[in-house]
């Protein structure tokens, strides 16, 4: 761990270092910014921060559980750093970070900006919300992938000042760097939704049980019809590759370039059809009119997909019929309603929209 004693004054504070290269290169490089690392690799021991923590000891000890005492210390730590820097803008790519929400609640004179970092559903905004830690989200200015996140954020009464539906910054930035290709190396690309070995239970499209059934069906189809399949891995962990390899064996290739932020994007781009349950990557490519097949075995109609390219049952020939249709026809598929749209693709790149917003605040 690195100890940092001095904190610079900056117009912008980037809260959490995840995806910092993308935000810096697409949005922040022309501004005065400071990266507030939150993942335990850097510890700030500024005199002001220490004073603020010590002055609120009584508030910390009001928390009964040890975990809540530690959370309170962490919250005060982040709030004091932001107050000391006194930026005009606090921005994060981790929109579901409760500490970011807490800082925004306390530091009302700062413009809080969050960028949606992944698919957000009832699971995120309600079912798995830790209400012992926070009642709800507070994101003053929320830049989201699609209408569905906006709809749910409002449905579950989370707090905000304004929401902007702009599409995916990561996907738009990738497209600004890479030329579109028609050179398809693979017929099918399966997007890994590996959860690090954690079992996800419940009636969700992305539950461990539902996803395993989907993988077995894909394996059967690949073997029977001889389709070429690549698995776009999330990590270079042996356990992830082993999990997929025990299912597909030599009937698939397993790809990732850990040194390339856009490894999975490039693999998807070189595939004719993308297969996914509920991945952000799938929604991003679907917004760009890529041929994507979604799987939703949950039976829970809160989880929205377009109608005609979503597989809801593996007991019939729908999957193989849809594969043949996509390989032989040039057809577009649409969401059921506007509020179901997970990701949009606008003419103006999403990162340009955020950059323009920040310019107005800073200047």
* Each residue's pLDDT tens digit, 162-209: 999 999 999 999 999 987 666 789 999 999 998 887 888 888 888 889
Distance of CA 187 to the CA centre of its chain: 26
Cα(11)–Cα(73) distance, integer angstroms:
25
What lies within 8 Å, CB to CB, of 47 at 6+ separation is none
How many helices and strands, by DSSP H and E, does the chain display? 14, 14
Could you tell me the domains of the chain? 2-167+347-362 (3.40.50), 174-340 (3.40.50.2000)
- pTM exceeds cut of 0.95: no
Q: What stretches in the chain show pLDDT beneath 70? A: 132, 180-182, 304-305
* Each residue's pLDDT tens digit, 119-165: 998 888 887 777 767 778 999 999 999 999 999 999 999 999 999 99
Cα(285)–Cα(171) distance, integer angstroms:
8
What value does the mean pLDDT of the chain take?
A: 93
Can you give 27-41 as a three-state secondary structure string?
HHCCCCEEEECCCCC
Closest CA to 74 of 160, 7, 16, 138: 16
> Which phi-psi region, left, alpha or beta, contains residue 153 (left: φ > 0; alpha: ψ -120 to 50)?
alpha
Cα(37)–Cα(78) distance, integer angstroms:
10
How much is the pLDDT for 304? 64
How much is the pLDDT for 328? 93
Cα(173)–Cα(170) distance, integer angstroms:
5
How much is the pLDDT for 181? 67
Phi, psi angles (nearest 5°) of residue 34? -130, 135
């Amino acid at each position: 761990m690195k100890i940092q004693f001095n904190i610079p004054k900056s117009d912008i504070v980037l809260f959490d270092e995840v995806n910092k290269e993308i935000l810096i290169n697409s949005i922040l490089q022309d501004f005065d910014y400071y990266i507030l690392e939150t993942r335990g690799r850097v510890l700030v021991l500024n005199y002001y921060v220490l004073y603020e923590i010590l002055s609120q000891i009584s508030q910390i000890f009001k928390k009964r559980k040890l975990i809540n005492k530690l959370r309170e210390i962490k919250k005060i730590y982040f709030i004091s750093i932001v107050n000391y820097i006194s930026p005009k803008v606090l921005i994060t790519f981790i929109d579901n970070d409760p500490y970011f929400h807490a800082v925004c609640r306390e530091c009302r004179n700062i413009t809080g900006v969050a960028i949606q970092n992944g698919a957000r559903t009832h699971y995120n905004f309600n079912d798995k919300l830790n209400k012992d830690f926070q009642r709800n989200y507070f994101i003053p200015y929320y830049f989201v992938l699609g209408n569905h996140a906006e709809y749910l954020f409002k449905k579950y009464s989370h707090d905000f000042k304004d929401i902007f539906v702009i599409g995916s910054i990561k996907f738009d930035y990738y497209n600004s760097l890479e030329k579109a290709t028609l050179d398809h190396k693979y017929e099918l690309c399966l997007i890994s939704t590996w959860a690090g070995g954690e079992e996800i239970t419940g009636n969700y499209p992305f539950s461990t049980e539902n996803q395993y059934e989907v993988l077995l069906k894909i394996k059967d189809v690949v073997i029977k019809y001889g389709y070429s399949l690549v698995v776009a891995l999330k990590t270079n962990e042996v356990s992830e590759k082993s999990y997929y390899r025990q299912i597909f064996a030599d009937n698939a290739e397993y790809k990732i370039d850990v040194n390339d932020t856009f490894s999975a994007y490039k693999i998807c781009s070189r595939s004719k059809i993308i297969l996914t349950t509920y991945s952000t990557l799938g929604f991003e490519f679907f917004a760009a009119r890529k041929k994507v097949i979604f799987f939703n075995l949950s039976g829970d109609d809160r989880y929205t997909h377009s109608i005609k390219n979503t597989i809801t049952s593996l007991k019939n020939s729908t999957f193989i019929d849809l594969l043949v249709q996509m390989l032989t026809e040039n057809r577009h598929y649409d969401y059921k309603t506007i509020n179901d749209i997970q990701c949009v693709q606008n003419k103006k790149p999403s990162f340009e929209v955020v950059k323009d917003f920040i310019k107005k605040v800073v200047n």
